[in-house]
Structure 1
Amino acid sequence: MDQRAKDLIKQGDHLFEKRTSLLQLWQEIADNFYPERADFTVVRNIGHEFADNLMTSYPIMARRDLGNSFAAMLRRDDWFSLRAEEESREDNSAKKWLEWASGVQRRAMYDRKSRFVRATKEGDHDFGTFGQCAISVELNRDADGLLYRCWHLRDVAWAEDAEGEVGEVHRKWKPSLRNLASIFGEKKMSAGAKEKLAKSPHSEINVRHVVIPAEHYEAPAGQRWNTPFVSIYLDVDNCHIIEEVGVYNKMYVIPRWQTVSGSQYAYSPATVAALPDARLIQAMTRVLLEAGEKATNPPMLAVQEAIRSDISIYAGGITWVDSDYDERLGEVLRPITQDKNGIPLGMEMQADTRNMIAEAFYLNKLTLPRGTGDMTATEVSQRVQEYIRQALPIFQPMEYEYNGGLCEATFDILMRAGAFGSPEDIPQSLRGQDVQFKFQSPLQDAVEREKGDRFLEAGQFLAQAAQMDPNALANFNASIALRDALDGIGVPARWISTEDQYGQRVAQMQQQQQMQQAAEQAATAAEIGEQAGKAGQALAAAEEQMQ
């Protein structure tokens, strides 16, 4: 047995055991909001009926709507674009290259074989329900495309580094022996796994994937790690290292929604707030169902000695009564009187609980506030600011932790794989710059479009100021303001002239204006000369007549 493999397995066991109690919470949350994922502490067989313990599906639908809204609002159309760290150094050639690189990355991410949509779909619902998800980003086996996969949180544990970032990741994996051999080859498998492969190739084996900083993992004798991280695949059953290679990134993107000091695991503010209401609405629905059944099919009060058959309370049923019974002693069979006034109150309480669950899942904050009638630019800006304040807790972690992590990991992989061509093709102004991602979302659209609103509002102010003082226009740089406004509303860089082209066109326009003015002056002078000549001829003719 390899001692390094034993040490890694021991470290992973410690991380998994430390968060055992957290699995209980995740199981309870999944039972109420995400029954498809409710297998943290129980084993679900194929064909198991989901949500058989629930009375109403409203909490599940609230989680579904929130999870679906992430992709609909944050990954629609061209939802990301590349930007240099110092935007002041972005000339037009740099912007064009960044737009081209954004298109290359977008096509690679949305290739059918990459499974990006599938992985993020699963990750969105994990993120909305449990406050985090685990998605791996890597090249596929043929190294001709990307591969995204979302892993069950039950099988992933991680530790933070000294700066609070996810630094070490351990993932449990149970592939079949045949798949393990096809991925790594039989030569890298342990002797026990090889022996079992020959007898039962479809048997599963316990494997663990570990990504750890290179400084925390000892290299084999005579080697050293030249990469920031190391990827290790372990055969846990036989305590054997299958593969260990250096990697330049963590391979796993683990976005976290709301963190709490002292824990590397996050929480979902939606399910934390809605869990009591979810339990309450299940109990309320059960009580209302029972009350409704009793109202339509009330319990009966019967005299035992006088009933000769079973009580038939179904439609068309007949109950046989002893003819000797004296009705003056009371009816043989009569419904129990019930007070049904509580049912409407229960319905109102149920509706209020649904509103609370919808508010906990931010379903009332995912759309822009609707305007009423004609609104001024100031009123529109105030409504946009209100929307930003309400939507910021949802979009900010998703953009920077989730989408930003995926895009940065993808860009790093594609850059090292040569997907963006030769480094010599990168414009000079971008070399040595750190590339950042700018995301398109309703929040970013609202923030960026404020530049256009401010440009129009500034135009109104300048028009009023020019009436009082024409020299006031000198306080405004219309060219720079227009460029910022066009960039804010998302106008492509190829639509906008570069600064050099702008200077050349301004010079040409000024030259044309000067030539036109010179021509107009020459025409005016010729006209004056012609008129002077005609005046001289008329004067000479008048003198001749006088003589």
Structure 2
Amino acid sequence: MENLANKISSRLTTLQSLRKPHEQVWKECFDFSFPIRGAGFNSEVVTSSTIQRKKSQLFDSTLTDAARTQASAIISGLTPANSRWFGLDVDHASDEEKRWLDQSADVLWRNIHNSNFDSAAYEGNLDLMSAGWFALYIDTDREKGGFVFQLWPIASVYCDTSRADEKIDIVYRCYELTAEQAVNEYGDALAEKVKKQAEREPSSKIRFVHAIYPRKDGKQGEVAKKLPIASVHVDLDNKRVVRESGYNEMPVVIPRWMQIPQSVYAIGPVSDALPDAKTLNEIKRMELANADLAISGMWIAQDDGILNPQAITVGPRKVIIANSVDSMRPLHSGADFNISFTKCEQLQAAIRKIMLADQLQPQNGPAMTATEVNMRQQLIRQLLGPIYGRMQAEYLQPLIERCFGIAFRAGVFADAPESLVKKYINVKYVSPMARAQKFDEVTAISNFVQMAIQSAQVNQGVLDNIDFDKATRFTGEALGVPAQVVRTEQEIETIRQQRAEQEQAMQLQMAQQQMMAQQGAEQ
């Protein structure tokens, strides 16, 4: 155990040195967007006065507003709380399997949003805008049940990878507990001097690290110390393992915006707008300084024996004794506010364009036509499409896998069909952005069907080119229609058979009536 503690402590030192070159960039990005979220880098002590001082140095909020707009757009496009944004699927699924998968996806989605996911995800996306990554820890609520999501401050998280594809699978999180909290959490696993320290100084701080990494020869369903993902808590001050367990899936989700070459870390879109934000902030600072002169004025006075400039207080309803009116007069500052206003508007527009806020926010002006709306949606899809692709791979996929594993082991789902035992369950995304990416295909089907119907007025056989059942099903899936609303193929076949029998019975009845009518006429 001592060797394990020393190994983890040594690895932590290495990870800290590897992350340090990037910290200054992240810190600057946070300072000009969300100062409160960037506290803690470079061993900075986090206090309310420190955060307030950083806020007071910001003279323009354009970057903050633009980053918040893009974060909100990503959340509403990826994980909206008011509609299901994912489904479960298997290859060649039967109707029974589809029903179970759809019901399970609905139960899973509701449990995710019944937890604190929405608040944690929003704050995580703010970190994504500034630093380009965030760390979201997913676990079970031990007291109330369900999921619990913890957004770890990225200043305390260190990452690495053991994989060739550079996907993060090693996470170290540093944290502090008071001596009293440590005893309540870890008990007898602590060193004796920590227990004594808790008695003498219960509020003193103890440093810990939580190491999460792949465990060799680990298997799902085993005891905690043999699970695929290792979890080790180490007392750094005493080099002592205080808890060792494991996870069936990677419990920490770490999506990245744009990966830094030769590093597992990333940078966010705020870094692209940072030069403009710095320039804008400096212009605003000078503008406010000159505004003070423009409002209160600047004066020049001559000490002529009667007028003493050092004793003069300029203000309303004050009489100044002077030898001549020329002894004191206003002095123009020479500032040109028109240049400042024009330059600020240019920089603000540039920041909004870099952060895509100029496209994501509602447009002013007259109501757009359907064509204009469609073109704007296509533009937004083109701008955000690559971002959503990476977020699906590094954010949504591991998040759903972790939540599904927790829920399945807890017995939340109904009994699964036996045919699913050996099948791999895929995640399909039906979020607004995922549906928007299929909108072109839906539009193409709609236009094709309309063209065929018009052509059918000349040649009815044209409609034979279209499989209306498949077209309807594809359109429904692309638009995110719930599976409960769409009838199964077996149900449709039953309905059509009943309809055919009814039509046949009606035809037979009509034939009998006609025959009786003819017989009556002959008589």
Displacement after TM superposition at 1:32 (Å): 1.1
Residues 372-399 of structure 1, C-alpha deviations (whole Å, 9 max, x = no match): 66556xx765554333112324433334
**Which stretch shows the higher mean deviation, 383-392 or 352-361?**
383-392
Whether the 8 Å CA contact 1:80–1:437 is kept in 2: the answer is no
Amino acid at match of 2:153: H
Instruction: Tell me which amino acid in the other structure corresponds to 1:84.
Output: D
How far apart, in 1, do the equivalents of 2:427 and 2:281 lie? 43
Q: Does 1:436 align with 2:426?
A: yes
Look up the match of 1:61.
Answer: 65
Partner residue, 1:44: 46
Structure 1 position 201 matched with structure 2 position 202: yes
Q: Does 2:432 correspond to 1:427?
A: no
Structure 2 vs 1, CA of residues 510 and 8 (structure 1 numbering), >3 Å: closer, same or farther?
Answer: same
Report the Cα offset of residue 230 of structure 1. 0.9
Determine whether 1:90 maps to 2:85.
no
**Is 1:391 aligned to residue 381 of structure 2?**
no
Which residue matches 1:512? 502
Alignment coverage as a number of residue pairs: 510
Name 1:363's counterpart in structure 2: 357
Structure-1 separation of matches of 2:370 and 2:360: 21
Q: Provide the rounded CA distance (Å) in 1 between the counterparts of 2:361 and 2:29.
A: 26
Tell me if the contact between 1:159 and 1:168 (Cα under 8 Å) persists in the aligned partners.
yes
> Residues 224 and 246 of structure 2 are in contact (CA less than 8 Å); yes or no, is this contact kept in structure 1?
no
Question: What is the CA–CA distance in structure 1 between the aligned matches of 2:345 and 2:367, rounded to whole Å?
Answer: 27
Aligned twin of 2:133: 132
- In structure 2, the CA distance between the partners of 1:394 and 1:364, relative to structure 1 (3 Å rule), is farther
Say whether the 8 Å CA contact 1:34–1:60 is kept in structure 2.
yes
Q: Secondary structure at the match of 1:249?
A: coil
Q: 2:340 aligned with 1:335, yes or no?
A: no
Mapped pair 1:405 → 2:398 = yes
1:481-496 matches, cutoff 5 A: 481-496=471-486
Question: Are residue 108 (structure 1) and residue 98 (structure 2) matched?
Answer: no
Instruction: Give the direction of change, closer, same or farther, for the CA distance of 1:506–1:346 in structure 2 (3 Å limit).
Output: same
Cα distance in structure 1, aligned partners of 2:474 and 2:457:
26
Query: Is the 1:81–1:438 Cα contact (8 Å) retained in structure 2?
Result: yes
Q: Which residue of 2 is the match for residue 282 of structure 1?
A: 281
User: Does 282-291 or 208-217 show the bigger shift?
Assistant: 208-217
Residue type of the alignment partner of 2:331: I
Displacement after TM superposition at 1:180 (Å): 2.5
Partner of 1:416: 409
Task: Tell whether 2:338 aligns with 1:344.
Answer: yes
- 5 Å-filtered alignment, 1:494-533, equals 494-531=484-521, 533=522
Distance 1:380 1:522, change over 3 A: farther
Q: Which residue of 2 aligns with 1:220?
A: none
1:163 partner SS = coil
Q: Percent identity?
A: 23
Q: Is the 8 A contact 2:67 2:355 kept in 1?
A: yes
Q: CA deviation at 1:361?
A: 1.6
Displacement, 1:484? 1.8
Query: In the aligned structure 1, how far is the partner of 2:376 from the partner of 2:419?
Result: 39
- When residues 292 and 143 of structure 1 are mapped into structure 2, their CA distance, relative to the original with a 3 A threshold, is closer
**Residues 76 and 432 of structure 2 are in contact (CA less than 8 Å); yes or no, is this contact kept in structure 1?**
no
Secondary structure at 1:313's aligned position in 2? coil
Give the Å deviation of 1:147: 1.9
Q: Are residues 1:295 and 2:294 paired?
A: yes
Partner-residue secondary structure (3-state), 1:208 = strand
1:81 to 62, 74, 86: 86
CA contact (8 A) 2:249 2:401 kept: no
**Larger radius of gyration between Structure 1 and Structure 2:** 1
1:518 offset after TM fit, Å? 2.2
Which residue identity lines up with residue 79 of structure 1 in the other structure?
R
Residues 30 and 38, structure 2, Cα contact 8 Å, conserved in 1: yes
The secondary structure found in structure 1 opposite 2:105 is helix
Return the alpha-carbon distance in structure 1 between the equivalents of residues 366 and 389 of structure 2: 25
Which secondary structure state, in structure 1, belongs to the residue aligned with residue 457 of structure 2? helix
Q: 1:403 to 1:450 in 2, by over 3 A?
A: same
What is the letter of the counterpart of residue 270 of structure 2?
A: T
- Alpha carbons of structure 1 residues 293 and 197: separation in structure 2 relative to 1, 3 Å: closer
Question: Aligned in 2, Cα 1:433/1:178: closer, same or farther, shift over 3 Å?
Answer: farther
Q: How does 1:86-235 map to 2 (within 5 A)?
A: 86=91, 89-111=92-114, 114-142=115-143, 144-160=145-161, 161-184=163-186, 186-215=187-216, 226-235=226-235
Query: Distance between the aligned counterparts of 1:374 and 1:93, measured in 2?
Result: 43
Give the letter aligned to residue 91 of structure 1: S
Tell me how far apart the structure 2 counterparts of residues 373 and 9 of structure 1 sit (CA, whole Å): 60
> How far, CA to CA, are the matches of 1:506 and 1:65 in structure 2?
50
Shift of 1:38: 3.2
Partner of 1:474: 464
TM-score, length-scaled by structure 1: 0.86
Matched residue type, 2:9? I
Deviation at 1:335, TM superposition (A): 1.9
Partner of 1:538: none
Report the residue type matching 1:412 in the other structure: G
Tell me whether 476-485 or 486-495 shows the greater mean CA deviation. Answer: 486-495
What does the per-residue CA deviation read over 1:114-144, in whole Å, with 9 as the maximum and x for residues that have no partner?
4323322321211111110011111234483
Determine the structure 2 residue equivalent to 1:266.
Answer: 266
Q: Secondary structure at the match of 1:121?
A: helix
Comparing 487-496 with 164-173, greater Cα deviation is found at 487-496
More displaced 10-residue stretch of structure 1: 208-217 or 148-157: 208-217
Question: Is 2:69–2:361's contact at 8 Å kept on the other side of the alignment?
Answer: no
- The answer to whether the 8 Å contact 1:133/1:256 transfers is yes
Is the contact between residue 26 and residue 130 of structure 1 (CA under 8 Å) also seen in structure 2? yes
1:418-460: CA deviation from partner (whole Å, max 9, x where unpaired)? 2224xxx212453333333334443223234445434432321
User: What is the RMSD computed on CA atoms of the aligned residues?
Assistant: 2.7
Q: Cα distance, 1:73 vs. partner?
A: 4.0
Deviations 1:42-75 (A, max 9, x none): 2132354241222223322333333344434432
Q: Secondary structure at the match of 1:522?
A: helix
CA distance in 1, matches of 2:148, 2:224: 28
How many Å apart are 1:109 and its aligned residue?
2.2
Deviation (angstroms), 1:6: 0.5
Task: State the 1:232 CA deviation.
Answer: 0.5
Unaligned runs of 5+ in 2: none
Task: State the SS of the aligned residue for 1:263.
Answer: coil
Tell whether the 8 Å contact from 2:69 to 2:360 is kept in structure 1 after alignment: no
**1:2–1:343 Cα change, 3 Å:** same
Whether the 8 Å contact between 1:301 and 1:335 is mirrored in structure 2 is yes
CA contact (8 A) 2:81 2:118 kept: no
Distance change (3 Å), C-alpha of 1:78 and 1:183: farther
Q: Distance in 2 between matches of 1:224 and 1:204?
A: 28
**1:256 Cα deviation (Å)?**
0.7
Distance 1:68 1:463, change over 3 A: closer
Q: Which one-letter code corresponds to 2:174 in the other structure?
A: K
Q: Distance in 1 between matches of 2:316 and 2:491?
A: 87
What is the rounded CA distance, in whole Å, between the counterparts of 1:129 and 1:514 in structure 2? Answer: 69
- Counterparts of 1:150 and 1:415 in 2: how far apart (Å)? 23
Q: Is the 8 A contact 2:231 2:247 kept in 1?
A: yes
* Native 8 Å contact 1:174 1:205 kept in 2: yes
Distance 1:235 1:95, change over 3 A: same
